[in-house]
């Protein structure tokens, strides 16, 4: 269990994390989301005792990290896969971690096998490892002490599709064993397949703490309607807007409609004798839900290309 109570961190006049209170419980994968600059990495660093909170507290298993006698037995973390001496081999790096925490050397070979690094790869100096192999080594380090709490920051960076799927299965298997698993990622499609619950930050504040189904459902449902005739499409668009819907073009002959049901779209088309080639309802994706939640929390908003500033 990870417990955050009124957790706050200021860097001068900048508030990176603002009065964050949340419990991250065992037996599920908790996705940790937010735009760049939302405070995710700072929060994880405070959990691990790398940054000192300005106010509030962060506990792992009911205790601050600094009070854990053998930290790797309590919490494993991957924050930066590059945080390895470049001349040291992956296996030597893990052996050093193991010896400093009273972990037998045979456990190093076990976690290397778990993450798919053979003896040849594990014997390379860290600087010779690809980004994907570095990620696997970092995950091995997190697993080394067989801890009940695991934290992964962008664990699929540099991994190929098979590696991404492996991380997903690993996270879910660890949660299935009753562990607390916190995963931060910007890949919404992958998070939708992996997480059971979401904690979403924006400008350091908590925006959502709920099951993933609830967060996605909050974004509503889209309706896609294809109208082959241009004049009919214009008429239907007017009728939908008058009914309170939001209508956006979706390809050469289709519209994406939000704010009304598919049945309502069909009724409006029927009333005007408009021929349809498609009428389908689509549940919003996690990406759409995330964009809606964080619309006012984006630190850097890009201007559309082509000079269009609408």
Residue 265: which domain range?
221-283
Does residue 301 sit within a domain?
no
- Residues 132 and 20 grouped into a single domain: yes
Does residue 178 sit within a domain?
yes
* CATH number of the domain within which 252 lies: 3.30.70.790
- Residues 240 and 199 grouped into a single domain: no
- Residues 41 and 143 grouped into a single domain: yes
Cα separation, 190 vs 289, in Å, equals 14
- Residues 199 and 227 grouped into a single domain: no
- Residues 124 and 31 grouped into a single domain: yes
Of 52, 56, 67, 80, nearest to 8 (Cα)?
Answer: 56
Residue 299 has pLDDT above 90, yes or no: no
Where does the pLDDT of residue 308 fall: very low under 50, low under 70, confident under 90, or very high at 90 and above? very low
Cα separation, 39 vs 167, in Å, equals 24
- Residues 69 and 130 grouped into a single domain: yes
Does residue 297 sit within a domain?
no
Q: Which of 163, 184, 210 is the last residue of a domain?
A: 210
- Residues 199 and 276 grouped into a single domain: no
- Residues 122 and 76 grouped into a single domain: yes
Q: Which tokens belong to 118?
A: 């053979």
The domain total for the chain is 2
Cα separation, 54 vs 27, in Å, equals 30
- Residues 186 and 58 grouped into a single domain: yes
- Residues 204 and 227 grouped into a single domain: no
Q: What DSSP string describes 113-154?
A: HHHT--HHHHTSBGGGS-HHHHHHHHHHHHHTT--SEEEEES
CB half-sphere exposure, 228, CA atoms < 13 A: 5
pLDDT at 300: 54
Q: Which of 210, 231, 260 is the last residue of a domain?
A: 210
pLDDT at 307: 44
Token pair 């599709």: residue:
161
Which stretches of the chain are assigned E, i.e. beta strand? 2-11, 14-24, 28-33, 55-60, 75-78, 149-153, 180-184, 197-202, 205-211, 221-226, 246-249, 254-258, 278-283
pLDDT in tens, 188-210: 989 999 999 999 999 999 999 99
Does residue 291 sit within a domain?
no
Cα separation, 24 vs 181, in Å, equals 8
Q: Which of 210, 230, 256 is the last residue of a domain?
A: 210
pLDDT at 16: 96
- Residues 78 and 57 grouped into a single domain: yes
Q: Could you give the angle at which helices 161-176 and 131-143 cross, rounded to 10 degrees?
A: 10
pLDDT in tens, 135-170: 999 999 999 999 999 999 999 988 899 999 999 999
Residue 304 has pLDDT above 70, yes or no: no
pLDDT in tens, 81-127: 888 898 999 999 999 999 988 999 999 999 999 999 988 888 999 88
pLDDT at 103: 94
- Residues 197 and 276 grouped into a single domain: no
Residue 309 has pLDDT above 90, yes or no: no
Please count the residues of the chain.
Answer: 310
Does residue 290 sit within a domain?
no
* CATH number of the domain within which 28 lies: 3.40.50.300
């Amino acid at each position: 269990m990870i417990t955050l109570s009124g957790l706050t961190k200021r860097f001068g006049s900048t508030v990176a994390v603002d009065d964050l209170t949340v419990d991250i419980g065992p037996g599920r994968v908790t996705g940790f989301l937010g735009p760049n600059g939302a405070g995710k990495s700072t929060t994880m660093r405070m959990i691990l005792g790398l940054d000192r909170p300005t106010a509030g507290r962060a506990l792992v298993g009911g205790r601050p990290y600094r009070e854990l006698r053998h930290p790797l037995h309590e919490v494993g973390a991957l924050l930066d896969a590059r945080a390895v001496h470049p001349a040291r081999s992956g296996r030597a790096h893990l052996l050093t971690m193991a010896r400093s925490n009273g972990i037998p050397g045979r456990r190093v070979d076990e976690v290397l096998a778990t993450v798919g690094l053979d003896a040849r790869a594990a014997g390379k100096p860290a600087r010779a490892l690809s980004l994907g192999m570095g990620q696997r080594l970092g995950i091995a380090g997190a697993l080394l002490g067989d801890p009940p709490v695991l934290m992964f920051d962008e664990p699929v960076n540099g991994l190929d599709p098979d590696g991404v799927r492996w991380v997903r299965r690993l996270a879910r298997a660890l949660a299935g064993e009753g562990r607390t698993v916190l995963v931060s990622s910007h890949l919404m499609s992958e998070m939708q397949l992996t997480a059971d619950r979401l904690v979403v930050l924006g400008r350091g504040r908590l925006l959502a703490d709920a099951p993933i189904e609830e967060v996605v459902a909050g974004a509503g449902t889209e309706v896609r309607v294809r109208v082959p005739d241009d004049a009919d499409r214009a008429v239907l668009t007017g009728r939908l807007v008058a009914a309170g819907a939001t209508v956006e073009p979706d390809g050469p002959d289709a519209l994406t409609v939000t704010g009304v049901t598919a049945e309502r779209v069909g009724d409006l088309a029927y009333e005007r004798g408009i021929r349809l080639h498609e009428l389908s309802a689509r549940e919003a994706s996690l990406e759409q839900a995330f964009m809606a939640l964080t619309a006012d929390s984006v630190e850097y908003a890009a201007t559309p290309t082509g000079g269009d500033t609408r």
